[in-house]
A and B are shown apart, each in its own frame.
Chain A
Amino acid sequence: MRRRQGRVGNAICHVYLLILTCIAVFPLLWILISSIKGKGELTGNPTAFLPKTVTLDYFKHVINDLNFIVNIRNSIIISLATTAIAITIASMAAYGIVRFFPKFGSFMSKILVTTYIFPPILLAIPYSIVMAKLGLTNTRIGLIIVYLSFSIPYAVWLLVGFFKSVPIGIEEAARIDGANKLVVFGRVVLPLVAPGIVATAIYTFINAWNEFLYSLILMNDTEKMTVAVALRSLDGAEILDWGDMMAASALVVIPSIIFFCLIQNKIAGGLSEGSVK
């Protein structure tokens, strides 16, 4: 009796998960399908699922004629720079918190978490005023500085969880063997935490890549825009064509999804560990 009940329960779980999966995946699927359908198919037959003819025209149009490639390059540069700087600073800070100032560190982590509750729109106003004063509006450096403000606290928070998992015994052993603090950090601790750092780095990259509000406010020049904002300018433009919009969306969302799948297990663990302790 119990076993049969278990099997029915199992089947219900599968059905439920299957339905959710379809809903979760459908928009992505629909973007991809719409972006390769032949001319006229999108508006001609809205409910046809599979394309009659497959074409890459929309992609070509978006990349070559709409100069989207420039915006993709901007986004890559900005996201990479943000990630590199944030991870360097955050990993030193996280290590310091865990090893040298545990008391002060837990206080510090709480402060870092509270930064999360600042409404982005609250920060947007002073940031835009400050950047205008410094003459950094419409520059990549300005946007990178702004991105660092939210990616560093978050990266520190995630990294503290990873650094905590390094047993202190290993470090003490290295110290006894005559290694100084810097060597211990570089040669012993970093390699052990490397997977965590990579995961945090990817997460930072995705967040910078996906960010919209600050980029909207600080970058007005089409040549300087990130992909997210450039994409928005397609919306409501004269040339508005759903095929173009879907092709452009595909270009933006695919890197995000690939990276995300790579780190899915790491991030979940980090989030609950970092927050609970």
Chain B
Amino acid sequence: MLPAIIVVCALFLYPICSSIFYSFTNKNLIRPTYHFVGFDNYVTILTDKSFWNAFFNSLKWTVFSLIGQLLVGFTAALALNRVKHLKGAYKTLLIIPWAFPSIVIAFSWKWILNGVYGILPNLLVQMGICDEPPQFLTEKTLAFIVLVLINVWFGAPMIMVNVLSALQTVPQDQYEAAEIDGAKKWQSFLYITVPHIKIVMGLLVVLRTVWIFNNFDIIYLITGGGPAGSTQTVPVYAYDMGWGTKLLGQSSAVTVLLFIFMMAVCIGYFAVIGHWEKEDK
């Protein structure tokens, strides 16, 4: 017990405090000396156009990915819960994307979507849908959409598995009772299924929002934030600033802002979930 507390404190509290500390300095990745600059870093960032670009990209990326993942994951779980045959086989195959390391996600999709040799662009040409291979990852809007879809592909299985296990905890006799009372399918879904899995869904939304918003690997490895910053999100922006231009102090300020925003979002979510939990009791 105690070792865990010590480890967690040492490895979380210290970094947070030092991040906040560095965010008020002009710390550089290479130069050893630094001094206080007050709120300069924050002013610089908040007046930087590319920060706001990254911020709005992050919002779009999070909202669209989350909706996509929930939609696909939830419907897949409902379908899985209903079929009787091949359930295990579907489930095992459907969770495969979840096990993909981010670097392999990047490589496999970059290869599939490759503008010259990729199978998908070439197939589209062969089937006569496009005249020439579409450049999925180098055209601004298209690159963003493709990234969101890849994120849906990766994240939906996790939602599916968790919703499925929540669905299985719903007592079956309630459905039977509802059917005897003449309830329609959609009514028993709305009044039995939804209330039972509401809290699990809420927690999943929190976990996923945080994960997607903070995600660095997928975007960095597939497009690196390009083309022309169209897929740059806040974590990628912070990385480029810290390790690209070596401005660790400013980069710290970005991550502190990111953290504060994340905290605010989570507090909002937890207020809603806490309210639901009270209703249950």
Contacts and interface: CB of A to CB of B under 8 A. Distances in A.
A93 B104 contact: no
A89 B10 CA distance: 15
Interface in A201-258: 206, 209-210, 212-213, 217, 228-229, 231-232, 235, 242, 245-246, 249, 252-253, 256-257
A17 B8 contact: no
Contacts of A112: 8
B3 A92 contact: yes
B111 A34 contact: yes
A252 B101 contact: yes
**SS of B interface (majority):** helix
A16 B79 contact: yes
Contact of A93 (B3, B22, B116, B153): B3
Interface in A183-213: 206, 209-210, 212-213
A10 B112 CA distance: 32
A180 interface: no
A267 B4 CA distance: 21
B221 A125 contact: no
Contacts of B82: 9-10, 13
Interface residues of A, number: 85
A14 interface: yes
B193 interface: no
Interface residues of B, number: 86
Nearest to B121: A46
B165 interface: yes
A268 interface: yes
Interface string B134-166: 000000000000000000010001000110111
Interface in B184-224: 199-200, 203, 207, 210, 213-214, 216-217, 221
Nearest to A12: B79
Given A126-B19, A256-B100, A30 B161 contact: no
8 nearest CB pairs, A to B: A96-B1, A93-B4, A149-B11, A126-B15, A210-B101, A260-B99, A122-B255, A27-B108
Interface of B: 1, 3-5, 7-8, 11-12, 14-16, 18-19, 22, 72, 75-76, 79-80, 82-84, 86, 90-112, 114, 116-119, 122-123, 126, 153, 157, 161-162, 164-166, 199-200, 203, 207, 210, 213-214, 216-217, 221, 235, 238-239, 242-243, 248, 251-252, 255-256, 258-259, 262-263, 266
15 contacts: A14-B86, A27-B108, A30-B108, A30-B111, A117-B263, A119-B258, A125-B15, A127-B15, A145-B11, A209-B101, A235-B110, A252-B101, A260-B98, A264-B91, A264-B92
